[in-house]
Amino acid sequence: MTKYRGLAGSLTAGEELVPGVFALSEMVQHNQSLVCGSGPIKITTPSDQWAYAVTFPFHRPADSGSARDVLLLRVEVEVYCGRIGIGCIAGDTQTYVCPEMDCGPEDGPTVMELPLEHADCGECGWMVVRNTAEDNQCSHAVLRSIRTFRTGASRIPDLVSAEEHSIPSIGSAQSTRNGSPNGTTAKFRVALTHTSRHFESTRCSREELIRRYTAPRRLLDLPPFEELPPPPAHLYSGGLSILDVAVERGAAHMMARRCIDSPYKIQQATLAGARLVLCFENFLAVLPTVDAPLENVDLRPGSPWRIDDNWFAGLHTIFPVNEDVCIVSSSGADAVLWVDLRNREVIHRWRLPSDLYGVNYDLTPEMSVNRHYIHNDIQLGHLNCAYPDGKGGCYVSLLAQGDIGHVDEHGRYSLLARGYVGCHGVRVARNGDVYFSDSCSGRLMQLESDGSVSERCAVDSLWLHDVEQVDPDLYVFCMGDRNEVALVDVTKGQERGRFAFGNRGVNVQFVSVLGDAS
């Protein structure tokens, strides 16, 4: 099977370069990995997660023509135990110059296709194979070949249309006499994002998050802001699925209307008027419509398709305030940002108050968190969602403390709930109730009028990444640890349908309702 889909699938493999830019015979061992053979190569990785096992030095193509091409690497590999990641890194042996790909035993014999842009070829120093398995587990794999092909393309597309795979229904959904919970057939459209980042149970448990964020000196003795490095580049890729969903008598159906892939990780998507607004980790992109062509979309800095700001770092969610303004959450800046799409600028910014969350850096709008990234362990709260309240303010959720808070139109902050460490996705329901995902326990929670918090519904998930209401009683649950989406009648506690997304990435992320399906 071919593991890599989407971006490499949009490139046509032309003439093979012989010799290629990497050679199995030039393998370099790291961290006491065990390697035997010269082609194929049997690899036993170190037990530490993220430890490099082997690298292969990059050789610039001999002829100038291929040096201008996007090169396509085809890496034939099979993993028998554990999990490995394969990617290309710069000469500093740290910075990824193309998205890493993940592979495990369930993939069987696999051909990974990694595109390498000519601009990145100048930066590329090595191809690396590393251990991505958890729990101090060594991984065992066989690397059979590394081949290099010209593509004739001048650059890797920033957005490409991906194959609209069928979406398998799994599990046993419970039927009702009519379609939706309120007695009618429900039809709606949602935007679901996907990532190449694999779920890591040991890093996502509530116990681990509490240990990580309650370290007594976590915000002390910090390096100067100017010495902070930029966020990791090219490590994860992402995708977006526009899905039409119908909940009918006895069954729910989900059909992909449009699938988009990107070398950048798409965090969330929303509609602002007719515009499709994409929230990436460090920038926004605005397409004129959901069905806009992708061929000429250019997401490089300075492009008219793209919106940038110094505080666009670790972005997570985006929601419309009106047709021209969206609200964005930035975990890197621990901030909420109001963005004017028409003028392509941040018009208001609000940051977590120091009296409740302490101080790491006294940020000003001129300080670029995008160039000097405030990473997770030294963030104030890892603010991961901001949802407009309809009155000029917003609700926020914080992963580190498990807080749900409210910011009014004057910037005054009220703490509404605390202790749901790992939480995500605060929202306002149609009836005005505030709800959020208690991610580590797979629970949909609701804030009550008396200030208490109650469980609305629970699913079998260790990482409930997001939940969105689509009908008065019907909610979409995104289960990141399972790479599945469930449609749940939360009033009756009945699951109306469950769908698997293994053909779109290894982890579902955030969901947005785009309206009724036409």
Beta-ladder partners of 339:
326, 346
Predicted confidence band of residue 155 (pLDDT cuts 50, 70, 90): confident
> Are the beta carbons of 348 and 334 closer than 8 angstroms?
no
Specify the 3-state DSSP secondary structure of 213.
helix
CA gap 263, 267 in Å, rounded: 12
Average the pLDDT over 447-469 and give the result: 95
CATH superfamily ID and name for 160-216+227-515: YVTN repeat-like/Quinoprotein amine dehydrogenase (2.130.10.10)
Q: Kindly provide the residue ranges of all beta strands, DSSP E only, lying in 132-171, ordered along the sequence.
A: 140-150, 160-161
**pTM reported for the whole predicted model:** 0.89
Burial of 334 (0-12, 13-18, 19+ CB in 10 A): buried
Within its chain, how far is the Cα of 503 from the centroid?
15
Give me the amino acid identity at 375.
Answer: H
Predicted confidence band of residue 174 (pLDDT cuts 50, 70, 90): low
**Edge to edge, what strands does the sheet with 124-131 contain?**
28-29, 52-57, 124-131, 84-90, 101-103
Specify the 3-state DSSP secondary structure of 290.
coil
Strand pairing category for 124-131 and 52-57: antiparallel
Query: For the segment 369-415, what is each residue's pLDDT rounded down to a tens digit?
Result: 999 999 999 999 999 999 999 999 999 999 999 999 999 999 999 99
Is the four-CA dihedral 77, 81, 86, 91 of positive or negative sign?
negative
3-state helix/strand/coil string of 300-346: CCCCCCEECCCCCCCEEEEEECCCCEEEEEECCCCEEEEEECCCCEE
Question: Can you give the length of the chain in residues?
Answer: 518
Which pLDDT score, from 0 to 100, does residue 502 have? Answer: 85
Which pLDDT score, from 0 to 100, does residue 483 have? Answer: 94
Query: For the segment 416-426, what is each residue's pLDDT rounded down to a tens digit?
Result: 999 999 999 99
Q: What integer best gives the mean pLDDT of the chain?
A: 90
Residue 276 token pair: 């499709």
Strand pairing category for 266-272 and 71-81: unpaired
Predicted confidence band of residue 458 (pLDDT cuts 50, 70, 90): very high
> Are the beta carbons of 398 and 417 closer than 8 angstroms?
no
Which pLDDT score, from 0 to 100, does residue 170 have? Answer: 87
Q: Greater confidence, 165 or 309?
A: 309
Give me the amino acid identity at 381.
Answer: G
For residue 201, what is the DSSP state? H
Q: Does domain 8-150 have CATH number 3.30.750.24?
A: no
Does residue 501 register a pLDDT over 50? yes
What are the domain boundaries of the chain?
8-150, 160-216+227-515
CA gap 510, 441 in Å, rounded: 17
Does residue 459 register a pLDDT over 60? yes
Of the segments 63-77, 94-108, 138-152, which one has the largest average pLDDT value? 138-152
Does residue 95 register a pLDDT over 90? no
Q: Greater confidence, 130 or 178?
A: 130
Residue 365 token pair: 């709008």
Query: For the segment 201-230, what is each residue's pLDDT rounded down to a tens digit?
Result: 888 999 999 999 998 889 999 999 999 999
